Structure 1
Amino acid sequence: MDLELLFQGNNLLRLLGGLWVSVRIALISMGCSIVLGTLFGLLMRSRSRIVRLLCQLYLEFIRIMPPLVLLFLVFFETTRAWNLNLSGELAAVIVFTLWGTAEMGDLVRGAVGAIPLHQYDSARAIGMTGAQLQRHVILPQTLRRLVPLTVNLTTRMIKTTSLVALIGVVEVIKVAQQIIDANRFDYPNAALWLYGAVFLLYFVVCYAISLFSRYLERKWAMQ
Structure 2
Amino acid sequence: MGLEYLFQPSHLERLAFGLLETVKISFISVVLSAILGTIFGVIMTSNHVVVRMICRTYLEVIRVVPILVLLFIFYFGFATWFDWHFSAFYVCIMVFVLWGTAEMGDLVRAAISSIDRHQQDAAYALGLNKLQTLWYVVFPQSLRRVTPGAINLFTRMIQTSSLAVLIGVIEVIKVGQQIIENSLLIMPNASLWIYGLIFILYFALCYPLSRLANHLEKIWEF
- Per the normalisation by structure 1, the TM-score is 0.89
Structure 1 stretch displaced more, 36-45 or 5-14:
5-14
Deviations 1:27-79 (A, max 9, x none): 11121111211121111111111111111111110000000000000001111
How far has the Cα of 1:209 moved from its partner? 3.4
In the alignment, structure 1 residue 139 sits paired with structure 2 residue 131: no
How far has the Cα of 1:118 moved from its partner? 2.8
Distance 1:126 1:43 in 2: 24
Matches within 5 A, 1:18-97: 18-97=18-97
How far has the Cα of 1:172 moved from its partner? 0.8
- Root mean square deviation, CA, Å: 2.4
Which consecutive residues of structure 1, in runs of 5 or more, have no partner in the other structure?
Answer: none
Residue matched to 1:17: 17
Residue matched to 1:176: 176
How far has the Cα of 1:16 moved from its partner? 1.6
Contact 2:152 2:209 in 1 (8 A): no
Q: Residue 11 of structure 1 aligns to which amino acid in structure 2?
A: H
Q: Residue 78 of structure 2 aligns to which amino acid in structure 1?
A: T
Which consecutive residues of structure 2, in runs of 5 or more, have no partner in the other structure?
Answer: none
Q: Residue 192 of structure 1 aligns to which amino acid in structure 2?
A: L
| SS of residue in 1 equivalent to 2:184 | coil
Matches within 5 A, 1:149-160: 149-160=149-160
How far has the Cα of 1:9 moved from its partner? 3.3
Distance 2:18 2:100 in 1: 22
Contact 1:71 1:167 in 2 (8 A): yes
Distance 1:13 1:86 in 2: 27
Deviations 1:112-146 (A, max 9, x none): 01112232244445555544432332111111122
Structure 1 stretches of at least 4 aligned residues deviating more than 3 Å after TM superposition: 1-6, 121-132, 208-221
How far has the Cα of 1:162 moved from its partner? 0.9
Identity of aligned residues (%): 49
Contact 1:2 1:187 in 2 (8 A): yes
| SS of residue in 2 equivalent to 1:61 | helix
Contact 2:21 2:172 in 1 (8 A): yes
Distance 1:212 1:2 in 2: 38
How far has the Cα of 1:10 moved from its partner? 1.4
Question: In the superposition, relative to structure 1, how do residues 5 and 194 fare at CA in structure 2: closer, same or farther (>3 Å)?
Answer: farther
Distance 1:199 1:5 in 2: 20
Distance 1:67 1:20 in 2: 22
